Amino acid sequence: MSPDRRVVVTGIGVVSPCGTGIDDFWSGLLGPAPVGLRRIEDFDPEPYFENAKEARRTDRFAQFALAATDEAMRMAGTIDGDPARQGVWIGTGIGGLTTLEDQVLVHEHKGPRRVSPFMVPMLMANAASAAVSMKYGWQGPCENTCTACAAGTQSIGNAYRLITSGRCDAVVTGSSEATMTPTCIAGFTNMTAMASDGLSMPFDRDRHGFVLAEGSGILVLEELESARRRGATILAEIMGAASNADAHHITAPSPGGIGAITCMRSAVADAGLEPSDIRHVNAHGTSTPLNDAAEAAAIAELFGPGAVPVTSFKGVTGHSLGAAGALEAVGAVLTIQRGQIPPTAGFTTPDPDMAPIDLVVGEPRPWTPGPVLSNSFGFGGHNGCVVIGPAPD
């Protein structure tokens, strides 16, 4: 890895339940916590395709990714250069589940000859990456990370390393998810992971499960000097990233948040920083009893009790599984750009049994932007962290 190859963000885009487009998304993050499943209503995919037929042959999760990429690429502007040095790395937790469930029902009720010939390319987890690379003609590495709820953050970390290693000069990255199917909802409900009343309450004493969501967050990453040469507007810097595994349990975090502590410490070190340099933590904060407690313990252990402002967006956005980390990375860039830390919506009652953290609640908190640590922790023990800082001088 070359220490001279710094990585900056020149474009961001978002499709989310609290707002599509960065301005509406930001307004949503500053608003109250809604109730119920966090669906994206009235989404029209056709503007992002050549025709309606092409849109129909693309799963919803890839449609979201193309819409978010459209916004991010328009913001970034024209990126010239060798297409072979321009990559795409878009993650997902599950992929084209909507297509899979629909086609299983077609097979069951109408027979095998009625199953769509487009089923496989629609449901594959790499479909979003492939669609973006083909639309923009980016011919470098085109890959996908599928690591449950850590997929978005780990994808950003992987894209960052494509640039720092010298392999790419620009990468479209992020993640996307669309799993609002009856079977998926039933599965999460029956494992008692979801809040039965539709309330997401990160870090609250009475938290009792996450609220399922969908969406996509996309970032355009570029090598710093390349971005400067073309006169790009630089929004933020990706300073470091890390990933590891709890190696403990398929759904429960390691006791005391040991895996999370190690991952956070590694990301901070990768950025060339000390824990005291981190000015804000964007928490995974899903509103589940074990995960929030483990993350709070990890944050307090690494940074000290109440030492750094912490927020979770999931009171507003719900938990969009593999898309969550990318939505939160986009939100972290906006937090830097707009000089405010959004509050943790849905929080009302402190948990006396939880390690003490400085949770931002009630109103947005003004701050002097500095390095942000964004956390994602997924089923299977997958941990991902990324450090996002203000744009370099």
Q: Do residues 213 and 17 lie in contact, with contact meaning Cβ atoms separated by under 8 Å? A: yes
8 A C-beta contact, residue 17 and residue 319: no
Q: Which of 172, 212, 178, 157 is nearest to 68 (CA)?
A: 172
Buried b (16+ CB within 10 A) or exposed e, 311-341: bbbbbbbbbbbbbbbbbbbbbbbbbbbbebb
| pLDDT per residue as tens, the chain (393 positions) | 456 799 999 999 999 999 999 999 999 999 999 999 999 999 999 999 999 999 999 999 999 999 999 999 999 999 999 999 999 999 999 999 999 999 999 999 999 999 999 999 999 999 999 999 999 999 999 999 999 999 999 999 999 999 999 999 999 999 999 999 999 999 999 999 999 999 999 999 999 999 999 999 999 999 999 999 999 999 999 999 999 999 999 988 888 889 999 999 999 999 999 999 999 999 999 999 999 999 999 999 999 999 999 999 999 999 999 999 999 999 999 999 999 999 999 999 999 999 999 999 999 999 999 999 999 999 999 999 999 999 998
Are residues 104 and 50 in contact, defined by beta-carbon separation less than 8 angstroms? no
Report the number of distinct structural domains present in the chain.
Answer: 1
List, in sequence order, every residue forming a beta bridge with 6; answer none if it has no partner.
Answer: none
In a domain, 2, yes or no: no
Q: Does residue 186 belong to any structural domain of this protein?
A: yes
Q: Is 167 left (phi over 0), alpha (psi -120 to 50) or beta?
A: alpha
34 token code pair = 């809604």
In one-letter notation, the amino acid at residue 35 is V
In CATH, what number is assigned to the domain containing residue 251? 3.40.47.10
Residue 298, in any domain of the structure: yes
Would you name the residues annotated as active-site residues? 149, 284, 319
The token pair that represents 322 in the structure block: 């593999």
Residue 110 in any domain: the answer is yes
- Which range marks the domain in which residue 138 is found? 7-390
Residues 221 and 86: their CA atoms lie apart, in Å, by: 10
Q: What CA–CA distance (Å, rounded) separates 155 from 92?
A: 9
* Residue 291 forms part of a structural domain: yes
Sign of the dihedral through C-alpha 100, 147, 280, 273: negative
Residue 1 lies in a domain: no
Q: CB–CB of 254/47 below 8 Å? A: no
Beta-sheet pairing, 309-311 with 358-359 = parallel
Per-residue DSSP letters for 70-95?
HHHHHHH----S-GGGEEEEEE-SS-
Does residue 58 lie in a domain region? yes
**What do you get for the CA distance between the two ends of the chain, in Å?**
22
The reported pTM is 0.97
Both structure tokens of 317: 């956005």
Residue for token pair 């799963």:
59
Dig out the tokens for 278 from the structure: 């981190």
> What letters, b where the CB count within 10 A reaches 16 and e where it falls short, cover 255-264?
eebbbbbbbb
In a domain, 338, yes or no: yes
